Amino acid sequence: MTKRICYNNHVSVLALLILSGLSGAQDRIDEDADKVKKPCQKLHFIRKARDALSGTLQNALMVATNLITEAKVFTLAACTADDAPAARAYSFLAALATERAKKAQIDAEKSRKLLAQPMAVFQRREGQIEAVLAAQPDTITFPTAPTPGSTQAAQMGSATGKKCDITFKATSTAVPTCMDSDRNKEAIEKTAAKIKTLIKVKLTPDVAFSGGTFKISIAASGTVKDIDQPANTDNDACATTSSGTPNTKAGANHALGILSVQREQTDYTAEETDVVPEVGANDGRCKKDETASTSLHVTQKQMAHAICKWQEATAVAAAEVSGQKIQDLSEQSDAQQLAQIVLTGEIKDDLTDAAKKKLVIDILGDKEKTINDRFLTPIEYKKQNSKSETNRTTKI
């Protein structure tokens, strides 16, 4: 009896860190992105975009875990295979899954480190937009109600005028619910989900984070009657009304009162910013904001740079082996290289594409089937039959 030795083959595979393209979807993405305008919409966009990219990283780690599981299953199947060709095929698949799992783990960890800085920028931006939302004046408090025609400390220039303190306070917007009734919510979420492919984005202008300009409304309290006659005597007043009643110059009911205090502009017009600059890139394909280190807030350019770097760092994990069609697998370079090593012991540069594909198919067989159908389903069938046989023997 020939003793079968189970082993794993390890070969290097090509890098699988790629950046998604857009093709014809760009117009629709831009149309949706144009609806991200108000501070609350910006906040919703940032949070959803962060979820999308974090989810991509988590998916890469999950794929790596699944590939490790596949490798273990294929290794065990190689040990229990019915013949040498089947054992060779399972060993090939185990080695391929193992190498892809290693690469997926490396790429995911690399991306995690690269994402640290953009993540910090996004978190700062999120906090700043929350501050903008919270800085909207909500209620104005006067010493007394500004009632025209009455003596009040809130009036200026009156006979009884004195020091007047007017305050206003801001009530934070309910951030988690401020998007609930926004009709553009779905479009904003679509834009966030496509952040990996955005080439332009509309951002809140830098001026929005500068503390703002406030507007104070002043109105007259009382109305000075028409003067149409000279004064009765030299001591009464400069002039009198038609009724002949002297009119004092500094009457308490003839003054100005502060009626309201409000922020001059609550919604800033978003400005289009290039994520991937057409010219002037100074950090790979991205453009770094040279003034970012001296700015108290995250600038538009800094935000665009963070999105750009985030795109570069997004890992697209290696495809799991089991769900692929053998024909498709035969066209992938890592599978072709491994097949050459298994069948020829070396990697040759002069092989045609057709020859490389044939080597993979020679190992795996029926190119129209998926790996799952050809190699995993039989294992499950064998397992079920084994259980049935055991049960039958027990009953006998």
Q: Give whole-number Cα distances, 354 to 122, 254, 272, 344, in Å.
A: 47, 97, 48, 16
Answer yes or no: is 26 within a domain: no
Rounded to an integer, the average pLDDT of 161-188 is: 67
Structural domains counted in the chain: 1
pLDDT at position 340 is 95
- The token duo for 2 is 């020939």
What CA–CA distance (Å, rounded) separates 323 from 284?
35
What CA–CA distance (Å, rounded) separates 31 from 253?
56
pLDDT tens track for 244-269: 555 444 444 455 666 666 665 555 66
- The torsion angles phi and psi of 102, rounded to 5 degrees, stand at -60, -45
Q: Which domain holds residue 254?
A: 137-172+213-264
DSSP class of 220: E
Answer yes or no: is 227 within a domain: yes
Q: Give whole-number Cα distances, 187 to 33, 168, 299, 311, in Å.
A: 7, 35, 24, 20
pLDDT at position 15 is 18
Answer yes or no: is 355 within a domain: no
Q: Is the pLDDT of residue 299 over 90?
A: no
The CA-based dihedral angle spanning residues 276, 278, 282, 286, taken in that order and rounded to the nearest 10 degrees: 10
Mean pLDDT lowest for which of 39-53, 80-94, 354-368? Answer: 39-53
What CA–CA distance (Å, rounded) separates 363 from 334?
14
Q: Is the pLDDT of residue 101 over 80?
A: yes
Average pLDDT in the chain: 72
What is the value of pTM for the model shown?
0.59
Ranges of H-type helices in the chain: 26-33, 39-79, 84-134, 185-193, 300-313, 326-329, 333-344, 353-364, 371, 377-395
Answer yes or no: is 151 within a domain: yes
Select from 148, 141, 139 the least CA-distant residue to 166.
141
pLDDT at position 154 is 47
Rounded to an integer, the average pLDDT of 169-176 is: 58
Answer yes or no: is 154 within a domain: yes
Answer yes or no: is 217 within a domain: yes
Mean pLDDT lowest for which of 10-19, 76-85, 95-104, 116-125? Answer: 10-19
Longest dimension (CA), the chain: 138
